[in-house]
Structure 1
Amino acid sequence: MSIEIKKFPRWYFGGLAAASAVCVTHPLDLVKVHLQTHKGEPITLRQMFVTIVKNEGFLALYNGISASIFRQLTYSTTRFAIYDYAKVNIDMTNFTTKMAVAAVGGAIGGWVGAPADLVNVRLQNDMRIPKDQRRNYKHAFDGLYQVIKTEGLPRLFTGSSTASMRAGVLTVGQIAVYDQSKFLLLRSGMFQDNVVTHLAASFIAGIAVTIMTQPLDVLKTRLMNAKEGEFAGITQCVVYTSKEGPLAFYKGTIPAAVRNIPNTVITFIIYEQMTKYFGYIPKFK
């Protein structure tokens, strides 16, 4: 009987897996951004989807895809790399430790990925602005260049504090909850380390992510999409949003869940398969 040796993911696996997942779920993310910035009468996910396709065409659902991929290659690579490095070097059996490491890794990743996140939000929301006011970024790198050129380098990090907080919370809900769920499922003796377990654990994590991050996601989207000087800071954005009622912080929850759950599932399925076939065996001291 052969003994299966546990492999560990390489530092860039998380970023590649997340970038692959976003290629599938980007349209849902775009609709979510539109719902979060929508003002006036409430509109459903289906209505917003139909409106976008009718007014701009089907390919409009992929506006900002280059920025989404670039964001994952910066943001997710950083947060997964920090978490995976910790798993090799410290005792991560305690859930509290997992949450702490995930929060730190996510916060750092959120800051690193803030410029790509800002351009991503703007690219996705550009079609909702009158044509004479649109930014018309060609792609992610053009967006970065245009922001630096016209608004200055610091502008790239507008909303970075909110993005970091959200990323810290999201990484706890995604990576730490996934890791703990997988651990508990395997410990139950009813599951094996296979795709079924990865699917179940990632589904749980996807639900956790949506519940935990939606208010911060709404604030981050509004701050990044705001015109210069519209909000003095996150506090003013909170006050402004609260005037629309408490449910304003949960605008786009349904599309967020529809996007977060499959995104989390696809990310971890790819991540686990990459680890299985291309991972490494660390030399523990």
Structure 2
Amino acid sequence: MVSATASEVPPTTGVKIFSAGVAACLADVITFPLDTAKVRLQIQGESQISSGIRYKGVLGTITTLAKTEGSMKLYSGLPAGIQRQISFASLRIGLYDTVQEYFTSEEGKAPSLGNKIAAGLMTGGVAVFIGQPTEVVKVRLQAQSHLHGLKPRYTGTYNAYRIIATTESLTTLWKGTTPNLLRNIIINCTELVTYDLMKGFFVKNKILADDVPCHLLSALIAGFCTTLLSSPVDVVKTRFINSPAGQYISVPSCAMTMFTKEGPTAFFKGFMPSFLRLGSWNVIMFVCFEQLKRELMKSRQTAGYAT
């Protein structure tokens, strides 16, 4: 993202994929409680069985969850979340530059906005199909609660994979692929393209050097834009994935039910934790991604000189 300075050797595709995977996993571990809070706020109002507990705000939801279900509940589904980043984020972020160059017709020419968007569409779409089962398991584990007087559906990550595949169907692991595909195309394009454009703007106009402050600010702006555009699809995706068989006929049915029963504001439920999560996730991921790429390439150069 944005050409390297003359003194730097551009990172290889392998370095980018590895760096993206590691950075995304680190960001996920740190921000996971915010993601769990987002899921709980998004499904609030959906269940016919109520425990009498209402979640209010980001900190309120996190505090209530910790008090009523234990602090470890904030990390329910984390193994699936890590698996998701390894199979999903490493590809959509790590391959972005490579695909961007592929769409650029003339060698050495800077990619156009269209090239950037096309790269975001392709890497995001491919990554969704590969990582969707981990998304289904992650959301269901985050959403399940023992406060309704019912036995939890799953006891752990691999138990969830097994039960979903055997009691529902193997294809259920790809449930919600359509809204998730739409969501991640929006996220990937907005997140990567906005970050790329903002970073290029700051560096080109000499507002900030290509370093941590530039990466941090660019990531924060990208996080806000991404949350704003993806929130409605994200809420529908979460509701549909978490729903038991037969509750919603289709994704449009889920969206229409939400609209008629809860109003248009339902599509922005959990917006603040979504932004806090996505904004902080972006900052941690992009800053670590950029630094890790540089350090790995320096190590490769040092090893090359030594031999």
- Output the TM-score relative to the length of structure 1: 0.92
Aligned to 1:27: 33
For the 8 Å contact 2:34–2:58, the answer to whether it is kept is no
**Which piece of structure 1 moves more, 162-171 or 37-46?**
37-46
Q: 1:174 aligns with which of 191, 195, 198?
A: 191
List gaps (5 residues or longer) in structure 2. Answer: 47-53, 105-109, 302-307
1:95-131 Cα distance to aligned partner (Å, 9 max, x none): 2221121022112212221100000001101126634
Distance in 1 (alpha carbons) for counterparts of 2:194 and 2:113: 8
Q: 2:70 aligns with which of 44, 57, 65?
A: 57
Task: Please give the secondary structure, in 1, of the residue aligned with 2:248.
Answer: coil
Aligned pairs, how many?
Answer: 279
How far residue 273 of structure 1 moved from its aligned partner, in angstroms, is 0.8
Aligned to 1:154: 171
Distance in 2 (alpha carbons) for counterparts of 1:97 and 1:267: 23
Q: 1:257 aligns with which of 234, 250, 275?
A: 275
Larger radius of gyration: 2
* C-alpha spacing 1:128/1:43, structure 2 compared with 1 (3 Å): farther
Distance in 1 (alpha carbons) for counterparts of 2:154 and 2:159: 9
Distance in 2 (alpha carbons) for counterparts of 1:76 and 1:84: 14
Aligned to 2:211: 194
Q: 2:254 aligns with which of 234, 237, 250?
A: 237
Q: 1:4 aligns with which of 7, 10, 25?
A: 7
Distance in 1 (alpha carbons) for counterparts of 2:9 and 2:223: 25
Aligned to 1:82: 95
Task: Give the 5 Å matches for 1:110-129.
Answer: 110-127=128-145
Task: Please give the secondary structure, in 2, of the residue aligned with 1:137.
Answer: coil
Task: Please give the secondary structure, in 2, of the residue aligned with 1:12.
Answer: helix
How far residue 250 of structure 1 moved from its aligned partner, in angstroms, is 0.2
Distance in 1 (alpha carbons) for counterparts of 2:6 and 2:82: 38
Aligned to 2:295: 277
* C-alpha spacing 1:110/1:37, structure 2 compared with 1 (3 Å): same
* C-alpha spacing 1:68/1:222, structure 2 compared with 1 (3 Å): same
- Output the TM-score relative to the length of structure 2: 0.85
Distance in 2 (alpha carbons) for counterparts of 1:116 and 1:123: 11
1:60-99 Cα distance to aligned partner (Å, 9 max, x none): 1111111111111111122123313224444352122211
Please tell me the residue identity of whatever aligns with 2:41.
L
For the 8 Å contact 1:79–1:105, the answer to whether it is kept is yes
Please tell me the residue identity of whatever aligns with 2:97.
D
For the 8 Å contact 2:125–2:185, the answer to whether it is kept is yes
1:228-259 Cα distance to aligned partner (Å, 9 max, x none): 11111111011011121111000000111111
* C-alpha spacing 1:171/1:129, structure 2 compared with 1 (3 Å): farther
Task: Please give the secondary structure, in 1, of the residue aligned with 2:95.
Answer: helix
Aligned to 2:305: none
- Two-structure CA RMSD over aligned residues (Å): 2.0
For the 8 Å contact 2:103–2:115, the answer to whether it is kept is no
1:142-184 Cα distance to aligned partner (Å, 9 max, x none): 3212211211111101101111110110001111111111111
* C-alpha spacing 1:104/1:89, structure 2 compared with 1 (3 Å): closer
Distance in 2 (alpha carbons) for counterparts of 1:138 and 1:176: 36
Distance in 2 (alpha carbons) for counterparts of 1:51 and 1:102: 37
* Consecutive aligned runs of 4 or more in structure 1 exceeding 4 Å deviation: none
Aligned to 2:221: 204
Q: What is the percentage of aligned positions where both structures have the same residue?
A: 28
Distance in 2 (alpha carbons) for counterparts of 1:86 and 1:123: 34
Aligned to 2:150: 132
How far residue 24 of structure 1 moved from its aligned partner, in angstroms, is 0.1
Please tell me the residue identity of whatever aligns with 2:175.
T
